[in-house]
Chains A and B, each alone.
Chain A
Amino acid sequence: AQSVSQHNHHVILSEAASLELGCNYSYGGTVNLFWYVQYPGQHLQLLLKYFSGDPLVKGIKGFEAEFIKSKFSFNLRKPSVQWSDTAEYFCAVNPNSGGYQKVTFGIGTKLQVIP
């Protein structure tokens, strides 16, 4: 079974600082990878996803993530965070096995951006 590790559970940054959130997964085959964001009091929304092609994926609100297959990683980055980026960020993996979707989420990283 696949698993997802998010290394930073709580990150505090000042506005304009750069962000990198780590995500590693374990699965022997091909995967689809996702980052979801949950703003305070809101539901999960898709930030970006990788399913094939260019391993550098650009998402909404200036976020990007890079899939490094050899490292089983899919780290999320943003060059300059804003106060409105304060939220919980979840990395997720879906094995591309041709079987039913069975997304596994990481435990989440709480990002707090200080004005």
Chain B
Amino acid sequence: DTAVSQTPKYLVTQMGNDKSIKCEQNLGHDTMYWYKQDSKKFLKIMFSYNNKELIINETVPNRFSPKSPDKAHLNLHINSLELGDSAVYFCASSQARIAGGPTDTQYFGPGTRLTVL
């Protein structure tokens, strides 16, 4: 059983295009996240949603727009793709939205490797 799934696994596209990455979790968690892992493997949070509500937006360019149709899904839409957007994007989920307890462990999806040419 896949806990956190993402599609597609690989995405190759031209500069200027618009693309979407989908994420679904079947853990019953209330909170979902998007992270970007750059070529140096540095992992940085982009967004966090709790029960369809945006709670963290880490000064990401507004070309990136997350959308949460329900608490089990968090999609990431990227407009006007740039070379610097090439990275691996990870979706994650956690039971708790508040830090500080045994339930704040985040569970990660397999990642989507985005390559912008």
Contact = CB atoms under 8 A, between A and B. Distances in A.
Contacts, number: 75
Nearest to B92: A44
A99 B108 contact: no
Interface stretch (B61-69, B76-84, B98-106): B98-106
Given A34-B105, A102-B56, A96 B100 contact: yes
Given A51-B102, A107-B40, A45 B96 contact: no
A45 B3 CA distance: 12
B97 interface: yes
B109 A94 contact: no
B100 A97 contact: yes
A32 interface: yes
Contact of A43 (B41, B50, B96, B111): B111
Contacts of B44: 105
Contact of A103 (B45, B97, B111): B45
A64 B106 CA distance: 19
Contacts of A108: 41-43
B94 A45 contact: no
Interface in A31-77: 32, 34, 36, 42-46, 49, 51
A43 B90 CA distance: 8
A49 B108 contact: no
Residue among A88, A98, A102 with the highest chain B CB neighbour number at 10 A? A102
B42 to A, nearest CB: 5
B55 interface: yes
A104 B55 CA distance: 16
Given A43-B90, A88-B41, A100-B55, A49 B105 contact: yes
Contacts of B102: 51
15 contacts: A32-B99, A32-B104, A43-B111, A46-B106, A51-B102, A99-B98, A99-B99, A100-B98, A101-B98, A101-B104, A102-B45, A102-B48, A103-B106, A104-B45, A107-B40
